[in-house]
Chain A
């Protein structure tokens, strides 16, 4: 926490400097059911800013409460009265769809540390929009491919009814060659899954694929474990991130999930990130924290070449992605979305702590299905 305070203090000082400071607007979810995700992104981001030692970067952080209307208000305020150069932070794709097009149309850069809705990767792509995490479908595509390898031929698939949920099931179906025992959209923020669990029981599925980020995943896994159904589950990392696992407990042990990051990816940047994050915040980082960290480092690397007011040079510097990612190799595709390796992980227990371990590679150099539709 101390480091965080120091960083904020340094930023406050930086704001008074006479050089051309860079102002970053971060809108993320810091309260309510999705708070864990936003807090991890923020903490990872601020850790990288603090480590860079730069005091000319001013970060304005606001809480969107996972509400699209509030996110839109905040972004208007940041662009019009705070005059930010770059925006970042949004977790949820429905909020990203409401905010990002307006931001990029006003010639402000947007770096997404999480949400990667298909529309913004394809027809709605923009030269000022970069996604540092993934296109939404990616981890789900990897899970579909994993399910094939595991021999699952009849999956029951489930996601919340919002853009990322729809992308999730599309992504899974794109690679899963088997049949579907059922396909269900739940409410975003739903906490009780008794009805869906009954449907799973009756469906005759041989596997369950679910995308339920944050508190939704905790509720589902606890209820599923208690239902006595023993159909194996597969999920993207979002259903098994570090913030969820402690609250779920032993119910998640052994579950395979797909991720572009894990704490045991072997490179010096990642090892240092995991260690310093734990030292600064007293908990293990999640993939969201790694995405926040990478986003900030990408940004800092581009700032070393150009100021965002020189939009063309700054954009080229971002596109070059000349930074050390926690994921190792990192490059942008033509639609400004990552081309990266996606791993299969398994939930394990280390002492008292539940966490993930990489057990294999699902895709190498994986891009997304929408890049072809993007005309910049």
Chain B
């Protein structure tokens, strides 16, 4: 116990502390769970990045973002089914979601920029229903099959004797690569400058001769492509089914509220926080409660409380920083 008294909040101390308090789990398990949290977080980031960009640049609340995630997963599953290649499916997901995004922007969303948020919510909610029923009509109500590509299947051994699925590691790598790519796009390119300018003052950049409606379509399609990619990537390890996007959408909203609306960096940090809180909370809370109660009810209560974890996190962040971690405006 003396060692614990000395150390404060380093990772090793947390581990030592956890073991001292009687957690029946090893360091390996904890590291594995942190990887799981990271993987969940980066996939959430792909969703949240598009959502926050669209809100930041166009001031639009897009509830149909989850539908684009579903479009990506279905496009990937059907193309992979036809061609036998997951990677062609992934490409199809990206294209299908970007196309779907561009089309709904031009046909529906464009009319909503000047409308009140409530009208936007109503119209994009209608889009959810249209997408869900349309997908059901095309593909039926039963889940589709989408498999992890053979190249990335199975576990790999990490240093320290950790067995971890290669596919999940690849998801972390892809998520981080997309984050870097988005950062470069926004900070280093001409389009990025226009996007940032659009966030600050859309009348002014229109006056300066930037084709604002083309920019909006582009941003919307970019956000949609990110969501579709996430849907396809996650679809390989989950169930590809109608309505799969809505639970993720709720989490993505939590992420952008925590990160600060309109901020890509905020979305990234927020997504990792939510991913880690959700995964680690679900594992450790029941373990913690086992110290006070018998296993069965500790599990029940612990998992009930763990589901609230991310919302408590969101509440805490909002009390501390009402505009979110990196939010510029309320």
Can you give 9 contacting A-B residue pairs, CB < 8 Å?
Answer: A31-B132, A32-B246, A36-B143, A184-B286, A191-B239, A195-B282, A201-B29, A227-B155, A227-B165
Pick from A46-54, A122-130, A215-223, A338-346 the stretch touching chain B. A215-223
Chain B residues in contact with chain A, CB under 8 A? 25-26, 28-29, 32-33, 36, 39-40, 132, 136, 141-145, 147-148, 153-155, 163, 165, 167-168, 234, 236-244, 246-247, 279, 282-283, 286, 295-296, 299-300, 302-304, 307
- Contacting pair A36 B299 (CB below 8 A): no
Given contacts A185-B299, A214-B239, 12 further A-B contacts (CB under 8 A): A31-B243, A33-B243, A35-B141, A161-B300, A161-B303, A195-B279, A202-B29, A215-B241, A216-B239, A227-B165, A228-B165, A249-B145
Interface residue? A187 (CB, 8 A): yes
Contacts of A226 in B (CB 8 A): 148, 153-155, 165, 167, 237
Once the chains are docked, how many angstroms separate the CA of A35 from the CA of B142?
A: 8
Verify B154–A33 contact, CB threshold 8 A.
no
Select from chain A the residue with minimum beta-carbon distance to B299: A185
Number of interchain pairs (Cβ within 8 Å): 133
**A4-56 CB contacts (< 8 Å) to partner B:** 30-33, 35-36, 39
Partner of A183, one of B29, B154, B283, B299: B299
* A32 CA / B132 CA spacing, docked (Å): 9
Q: What is the interface of chain A, defined by CB distance below 8 A to chain B?
A: 30-33, 35-36, 39, 161, 166, 169, 180, 183-187, 189, 191-192, 194-195, 198-199, 201-202, 214-216, 218-219, 222-223, 226-228, 243-244, 246-249, 283
Which residues of the partner chain A approach B246 to less than 8 Å between Cβ atoms?
32
Q: Inside 8 A of A248's CB, which chain B residues have their CB?
A: 145
Instruction: Please measure, in the bound complex, the distance between the C-alpha atom of A53 and the C-alpha atom of B239, giving whole angstroms.
Output: 38
Q: Are A32 and B142 in contact, CB atoms less than 8 angstroms apart?
A: no
Contacts of B243 in A (CB 8 A): 31-33, 35
- Given A32-B242, A161-B303, A187-B303, do A194 and B143 touch, yes or no (CB 8 Å)? no
List of 7 A-B pairs having minimum Cβ-Cβ separation, nearest first:
A215-B239, A228-B155, A218-B239, A194-B36, A247-B143, A32-B243, A219-B238
CA A324 to CA B111, docked complex, whole Å: 59
A112–B238 Cα distance when bound, in Å, is 30
Q: Is the CB of A36 within 8 A of B141?
A: yes
Main secondary structure of the interface of A (DSSP, over half): helix
Give the chain A neighbours of B153 by CB distance below 8 A.
Answer: 226
Chain B: minimal CB distance from A10 (Å): 24
- Please state if B242 and A35 are interface contacts (CB–CB under 8 Å): yes
- From A248, which residue of chain B is reached at the shortest CB distance? B145
With a CB–CB cut-off of 8 A, which chain A residues contact B29? Answer: 198-199, 201-202
Contacts of A192 in B (CB 8 A): 36, 40, 237-238
Cα-based distance from A256 to B313 in the complex (angstroms): 41
Nearest neighbor of B283 in chain A, beta-carbon distance:
A195
Tell whether A33 pairs with B167 under 8 Å between CB atoms, given A161-B304, A187-B303, A202-B29: no
Q: Which of A36, A218, A228 contacts B163 (CB 8 A)?
A: A228
How many Å from the CB of A39 to the closest CB on chain B? 5
